[in-house]
Amino acid sequence: MELLEGRICALAALQAGRRKFEALLVRQGIKDDSIRDLLDAAAARGVTVRKVREEALDAQAHGKTHGGVLAIAEPLPPAVLPATLDFVLFLDGVDDGRNLGYALRTAEAFGVQAVILRRRAWDFDGGDVSRASSGAYERLPVVIADAAPQGLALVGCMAGASKTIYDEDLTRPIALAIGGEKRGLSAAVRDQCVSRVTIPTKPGAPSLSLTHAAAVAMAEVARQRRNPQLPTPKSQ
């Protein structure tokens, strides 16, 4: 079982309806009216709600920042890619559950339809991912695969590329590949890319983290698709 700590990710999981729940634990003293949406979502799913002492919540949770809400649920079942895709995030080498969660939160905000992880084994704590993602993990399909879906151009974002993200046409159907902080994009993924781009930064500055690089690149995709007539930012 996984622990979903906090109201936001517990509510997201209940509303998404992809998990099976054992129970929703709520701290004694919290007024029902203040968590009405959570209680209604639990009732709609037939999930048992238990009022428990704060000490009991603290004993099960990873910390004391759960806000008085803790859901006990099974891990998410394997996700299925949507039938129609034109914007996918392809993460190659993410090795921290919280970083994955942050990337998922940003991906959902910028219109990504699915996230692909290039790894052969899932060893993240789903509860940590869900909380860091503010519930996006409950809604956004996350699939483990070694290649981008057919019909999408794989565009690799990497240091040293001759073209910047501002020079690339990101309005076409794409899978945006971002590498991990330790090794960047692997050779196997670089070989699959139809184009390679870089994020222009100040000379001598340290490289961006996976989550920040992904956010900058995804924001540019969203910018181009929302306002294709706007001038392209100048590379520095």
Q: Do 159 and 193 belong together in one domain?
A: yes
Residue 82 lies in a domain: no
pLDDT at 121: 59
| DSSP symbol at 95 | -
Burial class (CB in 10 A: 0-12, 13-18, 19+), 33: exposed
| Torsions phi, psi for 114 (to 5 deg) | -165, 155
Looking at the structure, tell me whether residues 60 and 93 fall in a common domain: no
Q: How far is CA 187 from CA 60, 153, 174, 190, in A?
A: 42, 17, 19, 5
Against a cut of 0.85, is the pTM above it? yes
Which of the listed residues 29, 49, 73 is the one where a domain comes to its end?
73
Residues 95 and 135 reside in one and the same domain:
yes
Adjacent-strand bridge partners of 196: 156
- Quick one: 52 and 115 in the same domain? no
144: domain CATH number?
3.40.1280.10
From 43, 73, 103, give the residue that closes a domain.
Answer: 73
In-domain check, residue 207 = yes
Give yes or no: residues 58 and 116 share one domain: no
Per-residue pLDDT, 44: 95
Same domain, 110 and 221: yes
The domain boundary, picked from 15, 44, 73, lies at: 73
68: left (phi over 0), alpha (psi -120 to 50) or beta: left
81 within some domain: no
Residue 69 is part of a domain; what is its CATH number? Answer: 3.30.1330.30
Q: Render each residue's pLDDT in the chain as its tens digit; 236 residues.
A: 899 998 999 999 999 999 999 999 999 988 888 899 999 999 999 999 999 888 888 888 777 778 889 999 999 998 999 999 999 999 998 888 999 999 999 999 999 999 999 876 567 889 999 999 999 999 999 999 988 999 999 999 998 888 999 999 999 999 999 998 777 888 999 999 999 999 998 887 778 889 999 999 999 999 999 876 665 666 54
Strand partners, 88: 114, 175
Q: DSSP character for 174?
A: E
Q: Do 182 and 99 belong together in one domain?
A: yes
If asked whether residues 32 and 123 sit together in one domain, one would say no
What is the extent of the structural domain holding 68? 2-73
Contacts of 86 (CB under 8 A, 6+ apart): 113, 152, 172, 173, 174
Our count of domains for the chain comes to 2
Instruction: Determine the pLDDT at residue 231.
Output: 54
Residue 79 lies in a domain: no
Rounded distance between C-alpha atoms, residue 116 and residue 88, angstroms = 7
Q: Do 38 and 100 belong together in one domain?
A: no
Tell me, yes or no, whether 233 lies in a domain: no
Is residue 137 one of the residues assigned to a domain?
yes
Q: Is residue 19 domain-resident?
A: yes
pLDDT at res. 107: 97
